[in-house]
Structure 1
């Protein structure tokens, strides 16, 4: 009987010590995250499609908050996501710029495709929309 009680007490002590250490390490090694990044990430559709030019929605959210990417750069989300991001960041923007950017990128990628000549001709003189 003493062996069982001793084992339970030791297990509780080990659990308490490890729990305390985990809590302490959480405070010591915590990383500050801008709360706007999490709000922007929640507003994005989560498709991780790469249509914005970033690896996924998380990378795009960080870039938008830093000002490195336009708030209307999410092609998968469309105008509703653009409006939500503008509201979160306190910006005003033209939602059609995301569509223009997608069209420009598609034209740029398909410049050498012979079956797409008509599509390419329409965009050869196109300049990339500015997102500043």
Structure 2
């Protein structure tokens, strides 16, 4: 027959007292360590587009909103939100600011696979950044697009697709001017220009024509 041992009254009281003490400590800590949250933070986050593309230079829309609230970032850095976001945040923060001119990404290369020559066969990872590390890229033209789609993969808005010749094609309708593709290109052949600016250079090669033609016909 099993002997059943019941806890003593003193043990029960000790555990109860210990639990009550911890409860008091936690309640005090909650009150003491509580940080008041500025309600404007939520309004600023709502005013931003929620793209979290990082083009403003901060980790997502909430990170940017926090910096605005702290006064350490201007309210017009969000290219995606544009004038609408600036107007809303201006009312929230009671700060006047003008929206930046809308931007669009442009590709300064026409050297697709149908006209550009390669110095060697590249069989590494499908990444422009990786290919650039191997003898500074496989293209004969040191300025030519490597065509491995780093820019397309970096675009959070689906504004870039690769053409049949391996060149990035940017949609004017979908491009927000966030600049992620600019940062992703290891050859610096993509730049941001004013969206209403129709004249742009389509080749970045600065070498003389005879040298240029060796790499791209």
| TM-score, reference length from structure 2 | 0.40
Structure 1 unaligned spans of 5+:
1-13, 122-132
RMSD: 4.1
Q: CA deviation at 1:105?
A: 5.6
Deviation at 1:98?
6.0
* CA offset digits 1:96-123 (Å, max 9, x no partner): x1636x86967974694357782697xx
Which deviates more from structure 2 when the two are superposed, residues 20-29 or residues 75-84?
20-29
After TM superposition, list the pairs within 5 Å mapping 1:23-42 onto structure 2. Answer: 23-42=27-46
Q: Can you list the C-alpha shifts for 1:20-75, whole angstroms capped at 9, x where unaligned? A: 66544321221233333232123222221101110111210111122221111112
Give the match for residue 72 of structure 2.
68
Q: Is the 8 A contact 2:55 2:79 kept in 1?
A: yes
Structure number with the bigger relative contact order (C-alpha 8 A, sep ≥ 6) is: 2
Once residues 51 and 24 of structure 2 are traced to their aligned partners in structure 1, the CA distance between those partners, rounded to angstroms, is 38
Contact 1:41 1:57 in 2 (8 A): yes
Structure with greater strand share of residues: 2
Are the counterparts in 2 of residues 52 and 60 from structure 1 also a CA contact under 8 Å? Answer: yes
Residues in 2 aligned to 1:103 and 1:32: alpha-carbon distance in whole angstroms: 36
Corresponding pairs, count: 120
Q: Distance in 2 between matches of 1:78 and 1:63?
A: 18
2:201 maps to which of 105, 118, 122? 118
- TM-score with structure 1 length normalisation? 0.58
Per the alignment, do residues 115 and 44 of structure 1 end up closer, same or farther by CA in structure 2, a change over 3 Å counting? closer
Q: How does 1:17-96 map to 2 (within 5 A)?
A: 22-95=26-99
User: Which structure has more helix as a fraction of its residues?
Assistant: 1
- Of the structure 1 ranges 42-51 and 83-92, higher mean CA displacement relative to structure 2 is found in 42-51
Cα distance in 1 for residues equivalent to 2:181 and 2:25? 56
